Amino acid sequence: MTMRHVPVQWNRTKLLYDAVLLVAVVTYVWVFIRVAPHYADTTRPVDDAILRMRAFGTCAFLMLTVILCIGPLARLDRRFLPLLYNRRHFGVLTCLVAVTHAAYVLSWYYAFSPTPPLEGLLRANASYGQVLGFPFETLGIFALICLVILAATSHDFWLAFLSAPVWKSLHLLIYPAYAAIVGHVVLGYLQDAKNPTFALIAGSGALLVAGLHLAARRSGHPRTTEPAADIEPGWVPAGLAASIPDGRARRIDLGHDERVAVFRIGNRLAAVSNACAHQNGPLGEGRVLDGCITCPWHGFQYRPEDGCSPPPFTEKVPTYRLKVANGMVYVHRTANPLGTPQPLVPLSGSDEEARS
């Protein structure tokens, strides 16, 4: 663990990450505007301004699709974790692309309107009681507001100011934003488009996001056997002790959105909350480094025996009591108070560890 945490810093990795994103966006928009029209239906030419707004709009949709795929992919395969670390930069750039799309829409369709552009946009269609002809513009506005809020609060200042649970809850707005964008695309562009290419891309993207999240959720709920008959109420089975890789963890769902990470450190076990105190990162997807449980997102570390960060840091996560009976690990549902020392439990399941 370094002498100080600097969660947001412009290092070589972040600069390379952002450079790749910028190049990808510029390339996509250029190809959409300069190359794609040569393969389009020449009997229905599209104005350059409309082409630009579609380029930025589709780009924002695809970027948000990729963003929502990164999280579950990182849970299913650790090789995707590097894409997760700087995902907030990805989100901010997506917001800028979406704002550019909206600016083109307002400047083109309402440039010569006697009413303010935004007012004209909202009053142009109020047929909310039908599917065909539904004012899809409002869905786009809602999604854009969500993206702006997420981008504006992406800095760690807001994380510390709002607290990790509130910040995390706020940033779940990305899901209704994505649903609104899907509706915006389906009820808007796709109703008028004759080429099915983007319809297939949009549908495949939405299905991919849903499928990956379902697969990641299933992977986070490992099967366990029934509790032994002599185990008291309040203990939850967490699988075979020997099946937990050394230096890694198994994540257990206790219900009510409470998850525990059971780590193996050599021949002993420790259990802590799965939520990192920094950004609610998944500690169970991290590993033990230098004797400390290390969050895979930003490297925050905690001692397995008490859930406290080593000095001079002050972050803490709850610990949980463990038992091993007949090779099966059991976690008690009730978390210990923050900072409570909890002895590591041997894999063998001795009487000493059962009393802990």
Mark whether 204 and 242 lie in a shared domain: no
Q: Which two tokens stand for residue 345?
A: 């439990």
Q: How far apart are CA 74 and CA 86, in angstroms?
A: 13
pLDDT at position 202, please? 82
Partner residues linked to 260 by β-bridges:
252, 273
Assess contact for 331 and 320: CB atoms under 8 A.
yes
Residues 250, 281, single domain; the answer is yes
Residue 111: which pLDDT band, with cuts at 50, 70 and 90?
Answer: low
- pLDDT mean across residues, the chain: 82
Mean pLDDT value of segment 245-251: 91
What mean pLDDT do residues 333-338 have?
91
Residues 168 and 305 in one domain: no
Inside any domain, residue 227: no
- Distant-in-sequence, close-in-space partners of 33: CB < 8 Å, separation ≥ 6: 48, 51, 52, 55
| Single residue among 219, 250, 270 that ends a domain in this structure | 219
Residue type, 283: L
CA distance linking residue 59 with residue 46, whole number of Å = 18
Residues 310, 208 within the same domain: no
Q: What is the DSSP letter of 240?
A: E
Question: What single letter denotes the amino acid at residue 323?
Answer: K
Tokens of 80: 């995707």
pLDDT, residue 352, reads 45
Report how many domains make up the chain: 2
Mean of pLDDT values over 97-125? 77
Is residue 228 in a domain? no
| Model pLDDT, residue 6 | 41
At 267, which CATH number?
Answer: 2.102.10.10
Across the strands, what pairs with 289?
Answer: 292
CB–CB of 125/87 below 8 Å? Answer: no
Does residue 242 sit in the same domain as residue 190? Answer: no
Confidence of residue 131 (pLDDT cuts 50, 70, 90): low
**Alpha-carbon span 323 to 202, nearest angstrom:** 48
In a domain, 6, yes or no: no
Neighbours of 291 (CB within 10 A): 13
The pTM (predicted TM-score) of the whole model is: 0.69
- Reported confidence tier of residue 37, pLDDT bands at 50, 70, 90: confident
- Is the per-residue pLDDT at 88 higher than 50? yes
Higher pLDDT, 19 or 43: 19
355: tokens are 């009393």
Q: What is the pLDDT of residue 135?
A: 80
Same domain, 162 and 267: no
Instruction: With respect to residue 291, please indicate whether it lies within any of the assigned structural domains.
Output: yes
Final residue belonging to a domain, choices 184, 219, 254: 219
Residues 194 and 136 in one domain: yes
Q: Which residue has the higher pLDDT, 192 or 201?
A: 201
What is the CB neighbour count within 10 angstroms for residue 109? 17
Residues 6+ apart with CB under 8 A from 62: 28, 201, 205
Residue 2 has pLDDT above 50, yes or no: no
Check pLDDT > 90 for residue 165: no
Examine residue 103 and state whether it is found in any structural domain, yes or no. Answer: yes
Residues 155 and 206 in one domain: yes
Q: What is the pLDDT of residue 354?
A: 40
Q: Same domain, yes or no, for 212 and 282? A: no
Domain of 68? 12-219
Instruction: Mark whether 35 and 167 lie in a shared domain.
Output: yes
pLDDT band at 228 (very low <50, low <70, confident <90, very high): very low
- Residue 278 has what pLDDT? 83
241 within a domain of the structure (yes/no): yes
Same domain as 162, residue 260: no
**Using CB atoms within 10 A of its CB, is residue 200 exposed (0-12), middle (13-18) or buried (19+)?**
exposed
- End-of-domain residue from the set 187, 219, 251: 219
Burial 224-252 (b: 16+ CB within 10 A, else e): beeeeeebeeebbbbbbbeebeeebbbbb
Q: 242: helix, coil or strand?
A: helix
Question: Is 347 within the bounds of a domain?
Answer: yes
8 A C-beta contact, residue 5 and residue 159: no
Q: How far apart are CA 321 and CA 336, in angstroms?
A: 8
Cβ-Cβ contacts under 8 Å for 204 (sequence gap 6 or more): none
Can you read off the two tokens belonging to residue 93? 């750039």
Residue 5 lies in a domain: no
Residue recorded with tokens 């008690």: 332
Residue type at 16?
Answer: L
pLDDT at 249 over 80: yes
212 and 324, same domain (yes or no): no
